[in-house]
Amino acid sequence: MTRCIQLLLLLASSPAALAEGGMSYNLRPGVTAISQQVYGLHMTIFYICCAIGVVVFGAMFWAIIHHRKSKGAKPASFHESTKVEIVWTVIPFLILIGMAIPATKTLLAMEDPSNADLTVQVTGSQWKWHYKYFDYELEYYSLLASDQDEITGKRAKRENYLLEVDRPLVLPVGKKVRFLMTSEDVIHSWWVPDFAVKKDANPGFINEAWTIIDEPGIYRGQCAELCGKDHGFMPVVVIAKEQDEFDQWMAEQQQAYQQAKQEEQALLAMTMDEAELMSVGKQVYDKHCAACHQANGEGLPGVFPALKDSPIALGDVDAHIDIIVNGKAGTAMQAFGKQLTLKEIAAVTTYERNAWGNDTGDLVQAKDVAALKGQE
């Protein structure tokens, strides 16, 4: 209730007071040459529309005020004038041509991804982004970082609520970066307002887009095509760095990437105990699986199957690992073999087999997963 009153006050006050909330009320000019051109176009058309509006509504309100019956106006009898009608057909047409010319120029520039310095493949899937750098050996997933408690209001919402990811995309400034957009399942759309880049990620096709970022910084966007239940929870975060910082970052990443691969091998020999498996498993589950199968394992009937008491989670271990590693083609169940490490898959399988009253007692180890993966 107090909030309502607060808002009514806000409503009555000027937009300037609202702006304190941190939202911009207009398009942002952004940080690329293109985005600034787009902003310019936006403002131009907006002003033209305002001008036309003033003329049209002006004439209308003039008539409303001066030609009203209560003031004794007597109706005129004209109802036609070819001359006037030609005028107001031709003038708007000319105005449109005036708008179309700069729009065409900007569009042609935007649609030319040739001569790129760096190429990144951007793949959407329900509900995360995957980035793969061409020319480097690096690829990773990028997931929403706000947690369920924030969303359901059990915990205060942090800054950048819903606009934070675990691993942002990192790009160099001043370089022409080409994006290859595609998708694993439904259509998503990769959008960063500050670059004026929004391109659909269509499954089975690759769309190209590009940008040259002028300033280092953190830029945030969101998925802009309805892609199912968690469409609203699929942010994009890009960090733009100076070239040398970028190179340094890339070197670190590559090292870490190699290291992880080696560790993966080492893990095969190790066995983890139940407590570790279950705690890692729960983490993985909540982050990667709960969106669909729900934290309580009960799924959403008719959309996402329950894992609690599910024949697969209680039945053959290999079949269970298999569906996690390879997913199930033609359903929302995606292949996690690439997204998760052997250890994580082992842990989450174990977790699913022992949580929510699924008391199989089975412990799955990294080598079991590797064995199954190796068979292919």
Partner 1 sequence: MSSISDVQIDHDDHHHAPPKGLMRWVLTTNHKDIGSMYLWFSFAMFLTGGAMAMVIRAELFQPGLQFVEPNFFNQMTTVHGLIMVFGAVMPAFTGLANWLIPMMIGAPDMALPRMNNWSFWILPFAFAILLASLFMEGGGPNFGWTFYAPLSTTYAPDSVALFVFSVHIMGISSIMGAINVIVTIMNMRAPGMTYMKLPLFVWTWLITAFLLIAVMPVLAGVVTMVLTDKFFGTSFFDAAGGGDPVLFQHIFWFFGHPEVYIMILPSFGIISAIVPAFSRKKLFGYASMVYATASIAGLSFIVWAHHMFTTGMPVQAELFFMYCTMLISVPTGVKVFNWVATMWRGAISFETPMLFALAFIVLFTIGGFSGLMLAITPVDFQYHDTYFVVAHFHYVLVSGAIFSIMAACYFWLPKWTGKMYDEGLAKLHFWCSLISVNVLFFPMHFLGLGGMPRRIPDYALQFADVNAIVSLGGFAFGLSQLIFLAVVIKCIRGGEPTTAKPWEGAEGLEWDLLPAKAPYHSFSTPPEVK
Partner 2 sequence: MSQAHDNYYVPAQSIWPIVGAVGLFLIASGAGFTVQQLDSEQGWGVWVLSLGVVVIIAMLFGWFGNVIQESMSGLYSEQMDRSFRQGMSWFIFSEVMFFAAFFGALFYARMIAVPWLGGASNNAMTAEVLWPEFEAIWPLIKTPDGTTTQAMGWMGLPLINTLILVTSSITLHFAHVGMEKDQRKPLKLWLFITLVLGFAFLVLQVEEYIHAYQEMGLTLDSGIYGNTFFLLTGFHGMHVTLGVIILTVMFLRILKGHFTGKQHFGFMAASWYWHFVDVVWLLLFVFVYIL
Whether residue 310 contacts residue 333, with contact meaning beta carbons closer than 8 Å, is answered with no
**Strand order across the beta sheet in which 188-192 lies:** 169-172, 235-241, 217-223, 188-192, 197-201
Span from 7-15, 89-97, 167-175, 361-369 in contact with ligand HEA (CB under 6 A): 89-97
Tell me: does residue 126 bind ligand HEC (CB under 6 A).
Answer: yes
Which lies closer to partner 2 via its Cβ, residue 111 or residue 242?
111
Asked if 52 touches ligand HEA (CB under 6 A), the answer is yes
Query: Which member of 10, 41, 163, 206 binds partner 2 (CB under 8 A)?
Result: 206
Closest CA relative to residue 139, chosen from 169, 183, 118, 166: 169
| Minimum separation from the CB atom of position 85 to partner 2 (A) | 29
Of ligand HEA, ligand CUA, partner 2, none, which one sits near residue 34, judging by CB under 5 to 8 A according to partner kind?
none
Q: Is 232 in the site for partner 1 (CB under 8 A)?
A: yes
Handedness of CA 355, 360, 361, 367 (dihedral sign): negative
Stretch that binds partner 1, among 90-98, 168-176, 337-345, 351-359 (CB under 8 A): 90-98
186 binds ligand HEC (CB under 6 A): no
Residue 221 contact partner, candidates ligand CUA, partner 2, ligand HEC, none, CB within 5 to 8 A by sort of partner: none
Contacts of 295 (CB under 8 A, 6+ apart): 148, 285, 286
Residue 239 · residue 206 · CB < 8 Å: no
Rg (CA), the chain: 28
Please, which residue, 36 or 253, has the CB nearer to partner 1? Answer: 36
If one counts every other C-beta atom within 10 angstroms of the C-beta of residue 133, the result is: 19
Residue 368: name the closest of 314, 316, 318, 312 by CA.
318
Kindly list the residues in this chain that would bind ligand CUA in the complex (CB under 6 A): 124, 127, 188, 223, 225-227, 231, 234
Q: Which residue is nearest to ligand HEA (CB)?
A: 92
For residue 84, state whether it binds ligand HEA (rule: CB under 6 A): no
- Torsion sign (Cα): 302, 307, 309, 315: positive
* Residue carrying structure tokens 């959407």: 124
Contacting residue, 36, 119, 283, 310, with ligand HEC by CB under 6 A: 310
**Is residue 338 involved in binding partner 1 (CB under 8 A)?**
no
For residue 77, the number of C-alpha atoms closer than 13 Å in the C-beta half-sphere is 0
Spatial distance between the Cα atoms of 164 and 321, rounded to a whole number of angstroms: 31
Q: Is the Cβ of residue 91 or residue 270 nearer to ligand HEA in the bound state?
A: 91
* CB closer to partner 2, 180 vs 364: 180
Question: What residues numbered 277-296 form the site for ligand HEC, per CB under 6 A?
Answer: 288-289, 291-293
96 binds ligand HEA (CB under 6 A): yes
In the complex, what is the shortest distance from the CB of residue 369 to ligand CUA, in angstroms, rounded to a whole number?
A: 28
Q: Select the residue interacting with partner 2 from 147, 205, 217, 300 (CB under 8 A).
A: 205
Find the shortest distance in angstroms from Cβ 279 to ligand HEC.
Answer: 16
**Please, which residues have CB within 8 angstroms of residue 196's CB and are 6 or more apart in sequence?**
30, 32, 34, 35, 38, 39, 110
Among 312, 314, 335, 370, binds ligand HEC (CB under 6 A): 312
Q: Is 121 in the site for partner 2 (CB under 8 A)?
A: yes
Nearer to ligand HEA, 73 or 90 (CB): 90
- Is the previous residue joined to 127 through a cis bond, with omega within 30 degrees of 0? yes
Which pairs with CB-CB distance under 8 Å and at least 24 residues apart come from 359-363? Answer: 360/313, 360/314, 362/317, 363/272, 363/274, 363/277
The verdict on 18 binding ligand HEA (CB under 6 A) reads: no
Phi, psi angles (nearest 5°) of residue 59: -60, -40
**Is residue 319 within 8 Å of residue 339, measured between CB atoms?**
no
Select from 217-225, 279-287, 343-351, 352-360 the region that touches partner 1 (CB under 8 A): 217-225
Interface residues toward ligand HEC, by CB under 6 A: 126, 288-289, 291-293, 304-305, 307, 310-313, 320, 323-324, 328, 331-333, 336, 348, 352
Interface residues toward ligand HEA, by CB under 6 A: 49, 52, 56, 92, 95-96
